[in-house]
Amino acid sequence: MLSDDTPCSPMKKLKILGEKTQNVKPSLESSNLQSIKENISNNREKEAPESEDTIEHLLEDAPGKYVIFPINHDDMWKMYKHLVDNFWSVTEKIQDLDKLALNYEEKQFMKFFTSIFASPKSSGLVNENFAEEFCKIIQVTEAKFFYGHQLFVQNIHSEMYNKLLLHFMEEQEREKNFKIVENFDAVINKRNWIEKWKTASFGEQLVASSCLHGLMFCSLDLVHNWLAIKTRSILSHELIDIFERMILDQEIQRNFSCLMISHLRHKPSKENMIEMINQAAKLEFDFLMNGIKCDLIGIEANEIIQLIDKKTKELKVMMFSWFYEKNNAITDANENKKPVNEERENNVSKENHHKLVFDEDF
């Protein structure tokens, strides 16, 4: 046999190479080759562009997203204008708080209440929540306007909580109180729930945002009602008016999140949405009982349950509105809302506060 170094004709070389090739063992089994082919095929399918049906309309890049007129989404624009119309700001008149003549326990309650929402770890509750991300990823002009203004409103709320905190506590006591409230289990659980949904799907984030603004600020309603009853002898107090503005801001933000859900092509399942609402309701009950210590101002568990039940049903009406009248329930809720000052007269009585007729069958 010829060695590798022995010269030979081109034809013989081809014959030798052919014989060597026949003796080479295949490096891959046929089953492995089939598996590779399937993987390549699957990867190509994944890399294929998404169809229009799988992309959320709200997230699609729009060439004219920086052009305002003509308005393309009248329902969103109306709600944006409604939020703007409720504009208010923090003034120096709040130093007037001494007129409330709060006793020791009532002052302790206000310290807990303001410390929780003014705490450095309150991000996710008052600000830096879902609105910031929505403002970045949503491409619809009218929605961008709403969320941009919502961020501005949330900064005003944050300023308000901090202003109240300055009135009730000196700096040293504030730092001490921050450490106390930040370690309440009820406060931690609430923050963790919000943080958990920040990494969820877009639809689930909208549902979580609805729960945040629709259920997780029930403390505003409780404080407002308590102050309204306490100050009957006073014709008006600016703090009551401010709380009314804050409550209305939260309601508009809740309604807008529900409106955005109604625009989704792929909504989370109804069962998942109800489960998220129920989770938020339980967390808020625990927060009101064990976080801000409502018992210090004489508010009992039964009253808290009634308020959360009412807010939960309101939220479900808004969130599932597309099942019967598309967006009408949401836009009507905003357009028919009474002016804040007019509504205050009816809010002194707890029985008359935000009455709602609803269908319990969801």
CA-CA distance, 76 to 357, in Å (whole number)? Answer: 25
Choose among 127, 172, 171, 179: nearest CA to 153. Answer: 127
Whether 161 is a known active-site residue: answer yes
Q: How many CA atoms lie within 13 A of 24 on its CB side?
A: 9
Q: Are 258 and 82 in contact (CB under 8 A)?
A: no
Q: Which long-range contacts (CB under 8 A, 24 or more apart) does 157-162 make?
A: 157/117, 157/126, 157/127, 157/246, 157/249, 158/117, 158/118, 158/122, 158/126, 158/127, 159/90, 160/90, 160/242, 160/246, 161/114, 161/117, 161/118, 161/122, 161/126, 162/114, 162/118
- Report CA torsion sign: 99, 88, 252, 287: negative
Pick the catalytic residue: 80, 104, 161, 324?
Answer: 161
Q: Which residue has the tokens 């597309």?
A: 322
Choose among 249, 238, 243: nearest CA to 221. Answer: 243
DSSP 55-121: S-GGGS--TTTT---S-S-HHHHHHHHHHHHT-----GGGGGGGGG---HHHHHHHHHHHHHHHSGG
The secondary structure of residue 298, as a DSSP letter, is: T
Query: CA of 106: how far to CAs of 184, 226, 254, 268, in Å?
Result: 19, 10, 29, 42
Q: Are 118 and 162 in contact (CB under 8 A)?
A: yes
CA-CA distance, 293 to 108, in Å (whole number)? Answer: 9
Q: Are 124 and 193 in contact (CB under 8 A)?
A: no
Q: Are 97 and 166 in contact (CB under 8 A)?
A: no
- Active centre residues (catalytic): 161
